[in-house]
Amino acid sequence: MVRLRSPQAALRDHFYLVIMAGGTGTRLWPKSRTATPKQFQKILGSETLLKTTFKRVSKLVADPDHIFVSTNRACAAMVRKELPELPRKNLIIEPEPRNTAPAMAVAAWVISKRDPQAIVATAPSDHVVLNKKKYYQAIEQGIRVLTRDPNQLITVGIKPTYAETGYGYIKLGAPYRAKLKSQILNPKSQIFQVAKFVEKPSEKTAKQYLASGSYLWNASYFMWTAEHFLELVAQFLPEVSKRLPQYPEYFASFPNVAIDTAIAEKTKKILVISADLGWSDIGSWAAVFDIMKKGGVRNVASGKFIGIDTENCLIQGADRLIATVGLKNMVVVDTGDVILIAEKGASQKVKQVIEQLREQGETKYL
């Protein structure tokens, strides 16, 4: 087993970050679509979510050469346009969408060829992290653990602030102390063994999780040494491991499976860092409203908007004027060719609109 140097040296010389940008999420339809997914949209301001993520993680690495982006073939050109500073060789292109486990396996293999001592963290491209300081602290804690205990898989879990039914959860196990000296890890650090991963709960169960204080939201942030992660791939995804040297030739034959179910839920040595990051996966228009609402403002609006007796609404306009009268707790999104009008609390049901459009063959709106 490779013995890494100090955490400081690892951060400078052996730390790499992979931005996962292959998703084709449509939960923010009609703004986010198959051709222009959420990570390429300016949902919360003047920058795309991908650009915001890139800037955030750039603070963690020595130079852009230590940042990789994993995406699919359809999105590759958009990544290059959005991130011109990303070295071309650091763009890992999936020939076919195969979910996060094969994508991370390829990333680990590519990075290990460059640096066998690599420590790698992954970051979704379309999440919001408001507390960057705590994010950086969590990643640094992970690096410190992996320099001393490289056979761990680490995930970052989010302290829940309400009973969310749309996320998976992580049940906390015993506090992690093994192999770490006090000067390496603060005894107050919130690092635990993972007791188990649990799927999206009912509202009643989510409330129980919140009250117990023993569960975290599963945000799908992972850290590992490239060497150990490839060992896990060989153990749990042998068909992928055998074909990695031939990448990208056999990628389409890889199973379509998430890292959580393929590896994280099966390995015995997995830790979770509990963190309060001000995090959101922006999984609905209601989430966009919650993030953008400030102080006592009545509505969150972009574009030309006039609201009469309108409260707690999210208005996203294009070129046309949007005028509302007597509207409460609603979402209105105008993209020029589509108008979405939804009750804010039901905005996650937009996926049902997507399903009907597919059934009707209206692919131009997807």
Q: What is the pLDDT along the chain (366 residues), one digit of tens a residue?
A: 444 545 555 556 899 999 999 887 778 999 999 888 999 998 888 899 999 999 999 999 988 899 999 999 999 999 999 999 999 999 999 998 899 999 999 999 999 999 999 999 999 999 999 999 999 999 999 999 999 999 999 999 999 999 998 899 999 999 997 555 544 555 456 899 999 999 999 999 999 999 999 999 999 999 999 999 999 999 999 999 999 999 888 888 999 999 999 999 999 999 999 999 999 999 889 999 999 887 677 899 999 999 999 999 999 998 899 999 999 999 999 999 999 999 998 888 898 999 999 999 999 999
Spatial distance between the Cα atoms of 324 and 310, rounded to a whole number of angstroms: 7
Q: What is the pTM of this model?
A: 0.90
- What does each C-alpha distance from 177 to 107, 154, 188, 203, 332 come to in angstroms? 29, 14, 10, 34, 50
- What does each C-alpha distance from 192 to 212, 231, 312, 347 come to in angstroms? 16, 22, 39, 35
- Strand partners of residue 120: 16, 224
Q: Which three-class secondary structure state does DSSP give residue 111?
A: helix
User: What amino acid occupies position 67?
Assistant: I
Domain spans in the chain, listed from the N-terminal domain onward: 7-280, 285-365
Q: The tokens 């898989």 sit on which residue?
A: 153
**Fold (topology level) of 7-280:** Spore Coat Polysaccharide Biosynthesis Protein SpsA; Chain A (3.90.550)
